[in-house]
């Protein structure tokens, strides 16, 4: 007599294990401890074997019968159910090892040494938030272009058009890594060229026209806010480093301020790419640093602050420029463009200028080797730039006189 769900539910453990038969070799095995397991006896090529279908009630009576019928169908087709189950488990394990997330994390670990911590943290956060939920568990070789497009369009739908484009590029890098390691044969992101919205015209950070620099220097000299902020802006003009590089600067990074060749050595971990940046310092910059010592006290930072980071906040210099009347007219970052324009127009080597701006070296090995490249020429160039700043300031003073 076939089993019923009530009979399965009410089965109690006895002193000896029980087999409650259903039909077609299927039965519920009730252990002396009370465990209830579905099993099915069958024969394949003359040998008696037993298949396990899971525990009751997690696997119900109807599901157990369905699995029995599948097993019988395999036998009828000449397939060994035991061997088929082992192959399925092996394939599932391989699929898990070849999932998009597994391979993405391998790629991430391989590239980690090339990135600064802040970039790698942001990148993994984006993958975990936007990419792994829809794609992570999928075998990488089975992922098709529409799946990827759907994932990045959700990012695009938040208004993050540029981020969606970057995430698509990252997904493409992961696929190319999978191809190189033999776990994929094609990069489906190549089929999505032009499928995302254009981020629109790039809005460059506004740079002050060189003709307005004397007026800015006059306003800077008259600035009545924090002296350290005034000196920070002055150092930005003189060195044209990135804002983040100046805000987080530490006194230990400066060498030879009392000598003939003072130098600011910005360590690799604070740079946009993983190699240090050398900034030769003109006398005007050394003078500003000497004055700044008075305001930084015993802090390791040039611009200490009680905030979470411990140094000047991101908007301090920008708000100072607003106060000086430059809201919408210029940005702090824009001084890099001012210096670059003047130096290029003056005829200095583009290589010198680009190295001084610490622009990305596509060949990272070469970049690390060349951190001191053109240093003598750049020192002379920075001296001329700083002298020009002094001349601008002197011109303002003469005009006022």
What residues are labeled active site? 242, 272, 333, 336, 359, 369
Q: How many CA atoms lie within 13 A of 139 on its CB side?
A: 10
Tokens found for residue 101: 């997330």
Pairing label, strands 47-55, 254-255: unpaired
Largest CA distance in the chain: 115
Sequence-distant (≥ 6) Cβ neighbours of residue 68 within 8 angstroms: 22, 24, 25, 26, 40, 53
* Phi, psi of 183, deg, nearest 5: -115, 5
Residue 83 is classified by DSSP as H
> Cα torsion for 230, 234, 236, 237, to the nearest 10°?
140
- Per the omega criterion (within 30 degrees of 0), is the bond before 23 cis? no
Q: How many whole angstroms from its chain centre is CA 177?
A: 17
In whole angstroms, give the CA distance from residue 88 to residue 164.
Answer: 36
In whole angstroms, give the CA distance from residue 139 to residue 98.
Answer: 6
**CB–CB of 54/36 below 8 Å?**
no
């Amino acid at each position: 007599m076939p089993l019923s769900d009530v009979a399965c539910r009410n089965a109690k453990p006895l002193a000896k294990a029980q087999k409650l038969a259903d039909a077609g070799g299927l039965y519920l095995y009730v252990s002396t401890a009370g465990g209830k397991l579905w099993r099915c006896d069958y024969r394949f090529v003359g040998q008696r074997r037993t298949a396990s279908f899971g525990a009751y009630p997690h696997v119900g009576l109807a599901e157990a019968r369905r699995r029995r019928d599948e097993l019988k169908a395999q036998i009828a087709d000449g397939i060994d159910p035991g061997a088929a189950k082992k192959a399925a488990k092996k394939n599932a394990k391989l699929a898990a090892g070849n999932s998009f997330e597994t391979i993405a994390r391998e790629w991430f670990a391989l590239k980690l040494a090339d990135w600064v911590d802040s970039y790698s943290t942001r990148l993994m956060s984006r993958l975990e938030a936007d990419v792994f939920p829809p794609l992570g568990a999928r075998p990488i070789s089975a992922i098709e272009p529409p799946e990827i497009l759907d994932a990045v369009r959700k990012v695009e739908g938040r208004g993050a058009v540029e981020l969606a484009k970057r995430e698509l590029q990252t997904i493409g890098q992961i696929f190319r890594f999978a191809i190189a390691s033999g776990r994929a044969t094609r990069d489906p992101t190549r089929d999505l060229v032009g499928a995302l919205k254009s981020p629109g015209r790039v809005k460059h950070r506004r740079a002050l026209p060189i003709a307005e620099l004397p007026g800015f220097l006059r306003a800077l000299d008259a600035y009545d806010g924090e002296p350290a902020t005034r000196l920070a802006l002055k150092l930005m003009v003189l060195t044209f480093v990135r804002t983040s590089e100046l805000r987080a600067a530490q006194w230990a990074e400066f060498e030879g301020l009392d000598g003939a060749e003072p130098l600011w050595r910005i360590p690799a971990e604070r740079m946009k790419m993983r190699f240090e940046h050398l900034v030769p310092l003109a006398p005007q910059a050394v003078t500003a640093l000497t004055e700044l010592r008075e305001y930084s006290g015993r802090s390791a930072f040039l611009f200490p602050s009680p905030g979470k980071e411990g140094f000047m906040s991101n908007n301090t210099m920008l708000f100072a420029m607003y106060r000086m009347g430059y809201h919408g007219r210029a940005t702090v970052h824009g001084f890099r463009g001012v210096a670059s324009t003047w130096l290029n127009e003056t005829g200095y080597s583009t290589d010198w200028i680009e190295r001084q701006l610490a622009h990305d070296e596509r060949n990272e090995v070469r970049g690390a080797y060349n951190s001191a490249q053109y240093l003598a020429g750049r020192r002379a160039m920075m001296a001329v730039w700083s002298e020009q700043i002094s001349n601008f300031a002197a011109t303002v003073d003469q005009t006022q006189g």
